[in-house]
Amino acid sequence: MDRKKTALQAGERGAVRSVDRALDILLCFGAERDLGLTEIARRVDLHKSTAHRMLASLERRGFVERHPLTDRYRLGWLIVELASQVYQSDNLTSLALAEMTHLRDAIGETISLYVRAGYERIRVGAVEGTHPVRRAADIGKRFPLYVGASGKVLLAFSDEDIIDPTFRTLKRDMIIFRFLSGCCVFR
C-alpha cells in the first residue's frame, strides 16, 4: 500500500500475512467509496484471484459489500457498527463535547477534536459551526501532524520520537512537492 507499511512489510515478528492483506484491502477504501477487484488487487499488490478470495471472506463477514450489478466493492455496515463502539466508549469525545459546544456558541465556527495516532492526527469529534458556509473534514479523516494548527499543537506536545520522524517526512514531502511543481512548469 502507498499510505503505510504493513506489519509484514516492516518485518515485524508475529505478523500474520493473511490478516495484513485483509487489513490492507480494507484500508484501500479510505479515499474511495467503491472499488473494483482489479483496482483493489493493484493497490495491495495481490493477484486478482487472491484479492477475490479475500474479498469473498470479508463480504461473508460483513466488512465489505459487493454491488450485484457493477461488481464494485464498498465498506460494509459492520464497519459502522464497530466504529460506533469505539465512538460510544470514547470518554475523551464525550468529556470534550460540552466545552466544544460552548466554544462554538461563542465564536460560531466549527470546533474539531483531533487525537494523535502515530505520525498522523485523526478527527474524532466535531461541533458544526453556525455559519452557512463551512468546510470541515469528515470524522475519522487522517492528516499528517505537520498539516494544520491542530496537528501542530499535537506535535508540540509530543515526544522527540514522534517529532523527529515527522520533520523528516515534512522535508521529504517538501522536496517531492518542489520537484513535481517544477515538472509542471516544463509541460
Q: Residue 97 is part of a domain; what is its CATH number?
A: 3.30.450.40
Do 21 and 104 have their domain in common? no
Do 143 and 171 have their domain in common? yes
pLDDT at 4 over 50: no
Residue 47 lies in a domain: yes
Do 149 and 178 have their domain in common? yes
pLDDT at 111 over 60: yes
Euclidean distance between CA atoms 41 and 20, whole angstroms: 14
Contact status, residue 92 vs residue 71, Cβ threshold 8 Å: no
Euclidean distance between CA atoms 21 and 19, whole angstroms: 5
pTM attached to this predicted model:
0.58
In the structure, what pLDDT confidence band is assigned to residue 11 with cuts at 50, 70 and 90?
A: low
Instruction: Give the lowest-confidence range in 30-44, 51-65, 85-99, 126-140.
Output: 85-99
In the structure, what pLDDT confidence band is assigned to residue 87 with cuts at 50, 70 and 90?
A: low
Residue-range definition of the domain harbouring residue 147 = 90-185
- Read off the CATH number of the domain in which 71 is found: 1.10.10.10
Contacts of 28 (CB under 8 A, 6+ apart): 1, 35, 39, 40, 43, 44
pLDDT at 70 over 70: yes
Residue 84 lies in a domain: no
**What percent of the chain has a predicted confidence (pLDDT) above 90?**
36
Alpha carbon 108 to chain centroid, angstroms: 27
Domain boundary among 76, 99, 125: 76
Which letter does DSSP use for residue 137 in this model? P
Do 29 and 61 have their domain in common? yes
Which letter does DSSP use for residue 127 in this model? E
Euclidean distance between CA atoms 176 and 146, whole angstroms: 16
Do 26 and 102 have their domain in common? no
Residue 116 lies in a domain: yes
Do 69 and 94 have their domain in common? no
Do 95 and 179 have their domain in common? yes
- Total domain count for the chain? 2
Strands of the sheet with 111-117, listed across from one edge: 111-117, 120-127, 142-144
Mean pLDDT estimate for the chain = 83
